[in-house]
Chains A and B, each alone.
Chain A
Amino acid sequence: MNRGLSPGGYVGAGLLLVFIGAALLGPWLAPYSPTAQDLDHILAGPSALHWLGTDENGADLLSELLHGARLALLISVSVVLSSALIGVTIGMTAGYFRGWVDEVIMRVVDVLLAFPGILLNIAVVATVARPGVGVLIFALVLNGWVGYARVARGQVLSLRELEYVHAARCVGAGPWRVMTRHLLPNLLSPILVQMTFGVGTVILIEASLSFLGLGPQLSYTWGALLDQGTTFLWHTQRVVFVPGLAIMVVVLGSNLLGDALRDHWDPRRVR
């Protein structure tokens, strides 16, 4: 356990740190408002005025990108944290109590896994006329918890049979205490790995929904930028490349760090 992370893990962590830094400092770093229109420079290339150029509304692409980073961070952190909290609670309950509780929960999980997750996200977002960020987060958490619940349940199913858990129960620890004090700490590493991968997944799904025109009704989410960029692909490729690259950097970072953390905590995987 004293080994450090693999080099890939540090690269991943670095990429995520750049993303978080851009998201937190974005509004101060951004030279313009993401919605300000410079009508003299529509779809203009990079210049001293606009480092990354402008989009078809004359908005500064760098400013849009930085404000978009803030949204992406807000959405991914909220979705991942809520999903993990709900999923771990549900999964631990199912695994600890077994019986009909487990049966009911697993049936619900089966239904949610019975169709592509993005369909449920689309269905929820489409039911709202003008979805905001809150609706999007709700839609993503609605099936986002399932993965965490499965991991937590699987772990608890094997952990609950171990001697130290029996011992805790023998000295009179109740279910709540056993779960929070004795089981939860042993769940944390696989859940953290899942959360790290989750950041990338959420950003991809948000971008997909925005690309389909179903995301939050803001012009500067990364997916919305990509969508606008595609419309003007024949005119300039820049508006597509920039947000796409931003998405890729974050997803790559989360995959690299996730892989490294998994290897770090699971000695069997080191080969």
Chain B
Amino acid sequence: MGDSLTLGLMSLGSFILRRLGSSAVAVLGVCVLVFSFLHMIPGDPVDAITGGEATPEQRRKIAECMHLNESLPAQFGMFLGSLADGSLGRQCPDPSGKPTVMQRIVQVFPYTVELAIGGLLVALLLAIPLGVLAAVRRGTWIDAVAAVVSLAGLSMPVMWMGPVLLDIFYVDLQIAPGPSFADEPFALLLPSIVIGTHLMAMLSRMTRSSLVDVLHEDYVRTARAKGLRPSVVVFKHGLRNALLPVITVVGIQFGAMLGGAIITEKVFARPGLGTLLIDGISERNYPIVQGTVLVIAVCYVTVNLLVDLSYGLADPRIRRA
């Protein structure tokens, strides 16, 4: 008994180490990709900052501040250095008074996190009941309605749904706060619905098909034969096992949600990582772009890691594999 426990813990440890290793490789890969793209950009970044109107002396100072005179590998080293000291880069030409890239990201980060959590809640709260109902009442009109709802959710573009909801609830009914009021209570409601709908649609389909599969298993028939109440059979025996693939989809789709945040933030004029990224791109402010992409990638990798770990914890078969 003791031996098997030690063995189990050891295999869990090596599972975590393996996943941490591959996550680190992935993040490093993202760094290289982002760095190389930003340095392939045609045109002089100094021009982007000065708008082309600068004395040679000023240009020299900016180039020096941005380390543009160094070789590419040296610049990559400095980029990694800015990761290590936690600043993620400085705002040239005059970095001393301005916030570092990290400080700007920290400032808007909570807005994106609350949006992502809001979207996740909307998705889960709607998808699981919808999926369970559709699975239990398979082939009835309830199932059909659920199918239509999830198909519509899958097909509706975020940048369409946002304006439509705003038009209905802000312009016509005047019951929801309008765009650019990110700090008002309930300001999160419409953006969460917009960002969560796609995931809701996927999850409800997933829940349905997974639960339909599980309800055909022998142990579910046994549970029914024992005379357990249908609700106990569905929720305790069925749903618990059906949710494993659903958790995976949540993890995989979380990244798509961070992508959706870029659009949702634009529709609702909310501050956040997406807005910062798009502003950075339009200002050609490369340290900001680099830093934001990196932070989004790290969030994504971390969430996937956590999902994998929770999956491994929930199902011992996976950590041995």
- The residues of A that contact B296 with a CB separation of less than 8 Å are 115-116, 119
Cβ of B263 and Cβ of A211 under 8 Å apart?
yes
Query: Is B60 in contact with chain A by the CB < 8 A criterion?
Result: no
Known pairs A110-B25, A114-B30, A248-B156; A241 contacts B164 (CB<8 A) = yes
Q: Are A127 and B38 in contact (CB under 8 A)?
A: yes
Which residue of chain A lies nearest to B277 when distances are taken between CB atoms in the complex?
A122
With A129-B42, A213-B282, A247-B160 known as contacts, the answer to whether A116 contacts B154 (CB < 8 A) is no
Please, how many residues of chain B have a CB less than 8 angstroms from a CB on the other chain?
A: 50
Question: Which of chain B's residues has its CB closest to A248's CB?
Answer: B155
Chain B residues 1 to 58 lying within 8 A of chain A, measured CB to CB, are 22-23, 25-27, 29-30, 33-34, 37-38, 40-43
Instruction: Give, as a whole number of angstroms, the nearest-CB distance from A55 to chain B.
Output: 15
A255, B164: Cα distance in complex, Å: 22
Q: Which one of A128, A212, A213, A251 lies within 8 Å of B157 (CB-CB)?
A: A251
- Using a CB–CB cutoff of 8 Å, the interface residues on chain A facing chain B are 107-108, 110-111, 113-120, 122-124, 126-129, 200, 204, 207-208, 211-214, 223, 226-227, 229-230, 233-234, 237, 240-241, 243-245, 247-248, 251-252, 255-256, 269, 271
A249 to B, closest residue via Cβ:
B155
A10 CB to closest chain B CB, in angstroms? 15
Q: Please, how many angstroms separate the alpha-carbon atoms of A233 and B268 in the complex?
A: 12
Interface residues of B in 241-293 (CB under 8 A from A): 255-256, 258-259, 262-263, 266-267, 277-278, 281-282, 289, 293
B27 to chain A, nearest CB (A): 7
Q: Which of B160, B282, B297 contacts A119 (CB 8 A)?
A: B297
Decide if B151 is an interface residue (CB 8 Å cutoff): yes
Interface contact B164-A110, CB-CB below 8 Å: no
CB of B262 within 8 A of CB of A212, answer: yes
Across the two chains, which residue of chain B brings its CB closest to A247?
A: B157
B171 at the interface (CB under 8 A from A): yes
Residues of B within 8 A of A (CB): 22-23, 25-27, 29-30, 33-34, 37-38, 40-43, 138, 151-152, 154-160, 163-164, 166-167, 171, 209, 212, 255-256, 258-259, 262-263, 266-267, 277-278, 281-282, 289, 293, 296-297, 300-301
Nearest chain B CB to A6 CB, angstrom units: 11
Alpha-carbon gap, A124 to B34, bound state (A): 9
Nearest CB of chain A from residue B157's CB, rounded to whole Å:
5
Known: A110-B22, A127-B38. 6 other contacts (CB 8 A): A119-B293, A208-B157, A208-B259, A230-B159, A230-B163, A271-B209
Considering the chains assembled together, what is the distance between the CA atoms of A126 and B212 in angstroms? 45
Taking CB atoms, residues of chain A closer than 8 Å to B263 are 208, 211-212
Contact check, A200 vs B167: say whether CB atoms are below 8 A apart: no
List 28 A-B residue pairs with CB atoms under 8 Å apart, sorted by A's residue number.
Answer: A108-B29, A110-B29, A111-B30, A114-B26, A115-B300, A116-B259, A117-B255, A120-B33, A122-B281, A123-B37, A123-B293, A124-B37, A126-B281, A127-B37, A129-B43, A200-B155, A211-B159, A212-B266, A212-B278, A213-B282, A233-B163, A244-B157, A244-B159, A244-B163, A245-B160, A248-B156, A248-B157, A251-B155
Cβ-defined contact, A127 with B40, below 8 A: yes
